[in-house]
């Protein structure tokens, strides 16, 4: 049975974004598990390829002057460089960009994408523990999963508090929600691409 249109919507924007992305988030989690990134360093390296591709597509958003006015530490939150260093640690080439990256989004759309990127840092707390089992750490091979300055929970609370406090029109609200779903769909595409392009393990 599906929820009716009158199903209660959470009052906070961050909670609504969590609600609308539940299905693509669950699908992505299942796909990650299917690729078993924590079985071998080689498997993990493909996961880092996907992370690098996704983060590199968001560099322009993290460095957007108008968004930085809203979220002053935004540029420092970007993990593209960390993922690039991880690729070097894992002797993995930096991948070429994949067609279809987000391009010149509106501010509301950009915040939807950033919501997904920033939210993934919470899950990274569990992933880094698994990466340690492969001999990796916050300073080698799994930097992009490391604890952000100031802590994961605090950084997320500050981000969502700002996001929840912004005034959005109905159109902007819908755009942010669609963008958050699109971000999960995009990461799913990049993950498939990363494992499909894995070196032959004959």
pLDDT at 7: 58
Mean confidence (pLDDT) of the chain: 94
Is 163 inside a domain boundary?
Answer: yes
Is 99 inside a domain boundary?
Answer: yes
pLDDT at 200: 57
CATH classification of the domain holding 156: 1.20.910.10
Confidence of residue 191 (pLDDT cuts 50, 70, 90): very high
Query: Residue 45: which of 84, 5, 2 has the closest Cα?
Result: 84
Q: What share of the chain is helix, strand, coil (3-state, %, to 5)?
A: 65, 0, 35
Look at the chain and report how many structural domains it folds into.
Answer: 1
- Evaluate if residue 202 carries a pLDDT over 60: no
**Which range marks the domain in which residue 154 is found?**
47-196
Token couple for 8: 């209660």
Q: Are 24 and 34 in contact (CB under 8 A)?
A: no
Is 2 inside a domain boundary?
Answer: no
Asked which of 2-11, 135-144, 182-191 is least confident by mean pLDDT, the reply is: 2-11
pLDDT per residue as tens digits for the range 70-83 = 999 999 999 999 99
Which residues are paired to 175 by β-bridges?
none
Is 29 inside a domain boundary?
Answer: no
SS3 7: coil
Is 133 inside a domain boundary?
Answer: yes
pLDDT per residue as tens digits for the range 147-177 = 998 899 999 999 999 999 999 999 999 999 9
Terminal Cα distance for the chain, rounded: 46
Is 81 inside a domain boundary?
Answer: yes
pLDDT per residue as tens digits for the range 49-107 = 999 999 999 999 999 999 999 999 999 999 999 999 999 999 999 999 999 999 999 99
Predicted TM-score (pTM) of the model is 0.93
Alpha carbon distance 111, 66 (integer Å): 11
Is 88 inside a domain boundary?
Answer: yes
C-alpha distances in Å from residue 197, one per residue of 36, 45, 54, 89:
16, 11, 16, 19
Which residues are paired to 137 by β-bridges?
140, 141
Is 13 inside a domain boundary?
Answer: no
């Amino acid at each position: 049975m599906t929820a009716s249109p009158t199903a209660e919507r959470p009052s906070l924007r961050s909670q609504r974004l969590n609600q609308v992305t539940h299905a693509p988030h669950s699908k992505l989690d299942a796909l990650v598990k299917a690729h078993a990134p924590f079985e071998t360093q080689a498997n993990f390296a493909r996961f880092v390829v996907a992370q690098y591709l996704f983060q590199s597509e968001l560099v322009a958003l993290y460095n957007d002057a108008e968004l930085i006015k809203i979220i002053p530490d935004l540029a420092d939150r970007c993990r593209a460089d960390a993922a690039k260093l991880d690729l070097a640690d894992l002797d993995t080439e930096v991948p070429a960009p994949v067609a279809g990256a987000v391009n010149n989004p509106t501010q509301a759309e950009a915040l939807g994408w950033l919501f997904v990127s920033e939210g993934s840092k919470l899950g990274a707390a569990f992933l880094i523990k698994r990466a340690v089992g492969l001999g990796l750490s916050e300073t080698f091979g799994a930097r992009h999963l490391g604890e952000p300055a100031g802590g994961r929970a605090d950084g997320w609370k500050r981000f969502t508090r700002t996001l929840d406090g912004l005034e959005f029109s109905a159109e902007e609200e819908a755009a942010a929600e669609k963008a958050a779903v699109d971000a999960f769909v995009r990461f799913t595409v990049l993950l498939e691409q990363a494992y499909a392009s894995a070196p032959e393990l004959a």
